[in-house]
């Protein structure tokens, strides 16, 4: 029996999206990370034809045994790259390694009958670390076809296989997005068009053998499933990944949807677009462990007019070493008494190919400088965070630095034309200092009692419980109340620093197995809050999840407002702390993979958090006014 297909027969005629100049990744702001576009892996598809200087059409290395990639199925039209699938019964020579019904044997060439052709292109140029983004519209036919945007390496074998200092990686693949697969969990499962996949694949050496590392057997390290708040077939949306030496992070429409540690994805890779067939049009052959053509379900309806994916642009950037301060107006619009410290939150990115090193600054640093029309007169105060040079933090992050203002001359007592400014900086591994792109000035310093102080009324330390392995770190966050308190200075201490220590930024380091309390205390009023930290022995066994809690239990937001939910997996030292989020009413509120809720429309929605281990749930009610 043939499957019925969900066709959007009422779709409006597709109108090409304007190829506006895209100068930075979607969701990123000017004055923050500095980006350098890489033209050899970028294209706005406005030339009228596929650029042979950038792309290989229907590369032979991508052809599989279930359908054929044909050059005629990929073309440029109306400012878009178009990849279409056609129902076309044909014969092709195929290197069959399962010709005798046994998988993995020496291949023999056979004449095989195929029923579909599709399209694929990959870039001539290769890249490793950087930011890759494309604006894509999915395919109207569903299920059966899967538009994909991905990176893969093809230079194996590599000459470092015998390097004893590292594990050999034979193949790296980053799936930036696979749309409309409909079967991501298991062959008997069925996802709808809102489900999309952002996964990792690799081939590595273990015990002298080259073995595959696939997402489903290794979900924590390689599998990322996202349920979008939109139908990808109806319009163009941006899909992106940033590949850093330490982490791989995925974005949909500029919102982060997940992140994984980067273990094996350091090979040069090609930018690739393809439209593959899925199990509704092909069949799985368990004896040969592969997908084969399916002569029992040949569908011609909708091909090719409803079987086209479109790509409006693809952009690739290198991140350049960058340092910046968010909400600069907060600092330039506030008066700071010299009787209290000035806390400055500094963001940094080491750059795609570099990192923060000690250099002249010993980590990310913020200086309070005195300036005049000629430039910097002198550095008045300085604060740095050496932990930003550690392997765990040197590639990117955020740190809060405290400047001691005691004894600083008030701004109104400086010589005429002089003023204060904040100057964040760090030393890059490229050998140069890295400064903020725009000055944070003027900073107004007042004498003691010159301004109306807002007293502190409390402090909250989150998460309330945390787990950390021996010799690893976890960051606790303190929130001083009210938000406009004059003195937001705090200090931390551990009840038992032999079990876990804590620095002035709230970064906890596990020492030995055990449990201790970390307390934060405000400078103003000595208000306190505590977190319980469990230090886990790296050699310990598996601890199952017993529950999950999300706070607050209800939330009221204005249109466009965002809020990060606080989630506690129980027990705090459970081995698998991973959770997923889902909104039951995306038209009112959406939620990303990190628990950040965004108000989209008036009404009420419920956001549910679910543990990957055990499937425990809790929910929060969102009201958008």
pLDDT tens digits for range 38-71? 999 999 999 999 999 999 999 988 988 899 999 9
Model pLDDT, residue 539: 60
Rounded Cα distance, 537 and 162, in Å = 32
Whether the pLDDT of residue 414 is over 60: the answer is yes
- End-to-end C-alpha distance for the chain, whole angstroms: 49
- Please give the residue that has the higher pLDDT: either 572 or 428: 428
Model pLDDT, residue 16: 33
pLDDT tens digits along 502-552: 998 899 998 888 899 999 999 888 899 999 999 887 665 567 788 898 988
Mean per-residue pLDDT over the chain, rounded: 90
The mean pLDDT of 265-290, rounded to a whole number, is 93
Using pLDDT thresholds of 50, 70 and 90, give the confidence band for residue 183. Answer: low
Using pLDDT thresholds of 50, 70 and 90, give the confidence band for residue 558. Answer: confident
The mean pLDDT of 345-354, rounded to a whole number, is 97
Whether the pLDDT of residue 603 is over 80: the answer is yes
Rounded Cα distance, 96 and 423, in Å = 63
Lowest model confidence (mean pLDDT) among 182-186, 341-345, 479-483: 182-186
Whether the pLDDT of residue 417 is over 90: the answer is yes
Model pLDDT, residue 545: 83
Whether the pLDDT of residue 2 is over 50: the answer is no
User: 590, 597 in Cβ contact below 8 A?
Assistant: yes
The mean pLDDT of 371-378, rounded to a whole number, is 93
Percentage of the residues of the chain whose pLDDT score is greater than 70: 94
The mean pLDDT of 563-577, rounded to a whole number, is 82
Whether the pLDDT of residue 11 is over 50: the answer is no
Rounded Cα distance, 501 and 490, in Å = 16
Omega prior to 215 cis, within 30 of 0: no
The mean pLDDT of 304-311, rounded to a whole number, is 98
**The two three-digit tokens of residue 602, written as one number:** 């008036």
Whole-prediction pTM: 0.70
Using pLDDT thresholds of 50, 70 and 90, give the confidence band for residue 618. Answer: very high
Rounded Cα distance, 213 and 71, in Å = 31
Q: Is 518 exposed, middle or buried (0-12, 13-18, 19+ CB in 10 A)?
A: buried
pLDDT tens digits along 445-493: 998 644 466 888 999 999 998 988 888 889 999 999 988 788 888 999 9
Model pLDDT, residue 403: 96
Closest CA to 256 of 462, 28, 509, 485: 28
Helices (H) and strands (E) in the chain, counts: 2, 50
Whether the pLDDT of residue 141 is over 90: the answer is yes
Lowest model confidence (mean pLDDT) among 154-168, 297-311, 533-547, 565-579: 533-547
Domains defined along the chain, listed by start: 55-317 (2.60.120.200), 322-446 (2.60.40), 458-536 (2.60.40.1080), 547-624 (2.60.40.1080)
pLDDT tens digits along 187-236: 555 788 999 999 999 999 999 999 999 998 999 999 999 999 999 999 99
- φ/ψ bin of 144: left (φ > 0), alpha (ψ from -120 to 50), beta (otherwise): left
Model pLDDT, residue 186: 54
pLDDT tens digits along 200-214: 999 999 999 999 999
Q: Are strands 465-469 and 528-536 parallel, antiparallel or unpaired?
A: parallel
Q: What secondary structure, in 3-state letters, does 155-203 show? A: CCCCCCCCCCCCCCEEEEEEEEEEECCCCCCCCCCCCCCCEEECCEEEE
Whether the pLDDT of residue 9 is over 60: the answer is no
Percentage of the residues of the chain whose pLDDT score is greater than 90: 70
Model pLDDT, residue 289: 84
User: What are φ and ψ of residue 491, in 5° steps?
Assistant: -140, 155
Model pLDDT, residue 568: 87
pLDDT tens digits along 68-125: 999 999 999 999 999 999 999 999 999 998 988 888 788 899 999 999 999 999 999 9
Rounded Cα distance, 258 and 199, in Å = 10
Whether the pLDDT of residue 415 is over 80: the answer is yes
- State the Rg of the chain over Cα: 27
Closest CA to 315 of 145, 134, 178: 134
- Please give the residue that has the higher pLDDT: either 243 or 553: 243
Using pLDDT thresholds of 50, 70 and 90, give the confidence band for residue 19. Answer: very low
Rounded Cα distance, 244 and 131, in Å = 9
């Amino acid at each position: 029996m043939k499957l019925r297909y969900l066709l959007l027969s009422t779709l409006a005629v597709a109108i090409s999206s304007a190829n506006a100049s895209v100068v930075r990744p979607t969701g990123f702001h000017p004055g923050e990370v500095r980006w350098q576009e890489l033209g050899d892996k970028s294209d706005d598809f406005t030339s009228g034809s596929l650029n042979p200087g950038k792309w290989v059409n229907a590369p032979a290395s991508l052809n599989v045994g279930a359908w054929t990639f044909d050059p005629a199925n990929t073309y440029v039209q109306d400012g878009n790259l178009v990849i279409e699938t056609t129902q076309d019964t044909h014969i092709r020579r195929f290197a069959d390694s399962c010709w005798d019904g046994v998988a993995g044997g020496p291949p023999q060439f056979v004449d095989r009958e195929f029923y579909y052709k599709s399209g694929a292109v990959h870039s001539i140029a290769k890249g490793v670390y950087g930011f890759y983004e494309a604006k894509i519209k999915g395919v109207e036919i569903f299920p059966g076809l899967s538009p994909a945007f991905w990176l893969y390496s093809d230079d194996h074998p590599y000459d470092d296989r015998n390097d004893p200092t590292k594990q050999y990686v034979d193949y790296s693949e980053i799936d930036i997005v696979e749309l409309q697969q409909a079967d991501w969990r298991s062959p008997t499962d069925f996802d709808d068009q809102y489900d999309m996949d952002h996964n990792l694949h690799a081939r590595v050496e273990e015990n002298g053998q080259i073995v595959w590392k696939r997402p489903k057997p290794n979900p924590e390290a390689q599998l990322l499933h996202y349920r979008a708040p939109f139908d990808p077939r109806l319009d163009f949306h941006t899909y992106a990944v940033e590949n850093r030496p330490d982490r791989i992070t995925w974005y949909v429409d500029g919102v982060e949807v997940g992140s994984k540690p980067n273990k094996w994805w350091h090979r040069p890779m090609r930018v690739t677009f393809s439209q593959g067939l899925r199990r509704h049009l092909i069949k799985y052959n368990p004896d040969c462990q592969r997908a084969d053509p399916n002569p029992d379900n040949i569908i011609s309806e909708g091909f090719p007019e409803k079987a086209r994916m479109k790509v409006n642009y693809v952009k690739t950037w290198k991140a350049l070493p960058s340092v910046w301060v968010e909400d600069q107006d907060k600092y330039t619009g506030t008066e700071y008494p010299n009787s209290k410290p000035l806390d400055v939150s500094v963001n940094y990115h080491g750059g795609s190919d570099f990192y923060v090193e000690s250099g002249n600054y010993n980590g990310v640093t913020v200086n309070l400088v005195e300036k005049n029309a000629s430039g910097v007169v002198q550095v008045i105060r300085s604060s740095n965070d050496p932990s930003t040079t550690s392997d765990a933090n040197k590639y990117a992050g955020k740190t809060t630095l405290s400047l001691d203002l005691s004894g600083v001359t008030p701004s109104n007592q400086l010589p005429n034309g002089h003023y204060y400014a904040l100057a964040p900086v760090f030393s890059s591994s490229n050998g140069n200092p890295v400064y903020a792109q725009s000055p944070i000035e003027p900073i107004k310093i007042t004498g003691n009692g010159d301004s109306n102080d807002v007293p502190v009324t409390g402090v909250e330390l989150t998460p309330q419980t945390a787990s950390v392995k021996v010799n690893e770190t976890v960051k606790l966050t303190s929130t001083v109340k009210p938000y406009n308190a004059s003195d937001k200075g705090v200090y931390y201490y551990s009840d038992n620093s032999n079990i876990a220590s804590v620095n002035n930024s709230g970064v906890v380091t596990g020492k030995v197995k055990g449990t201790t309390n970390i307390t934060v205390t405000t400078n103003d009023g000595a208000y306190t809050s505590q977190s319980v930290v469990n230090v886990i022995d790296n050699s310990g066994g598996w601890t199952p999840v017993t529950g999950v809690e999300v706070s607050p239990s209800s939330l009221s937001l204005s249109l466009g407002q965002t809020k990060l939910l606080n989630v506690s997996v129980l027990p705090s030292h459970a081995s698998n702390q991973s959770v997923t989020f889902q909104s039951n009413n995306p038209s009112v509120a959406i939620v990303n993979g990190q628990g950040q809720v965004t108000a989209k429309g008036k009404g009420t929605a419920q956001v549910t958090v679910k543990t990957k281990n055990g499937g425990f749930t809790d929910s929060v009610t969102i009201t958008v006014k």
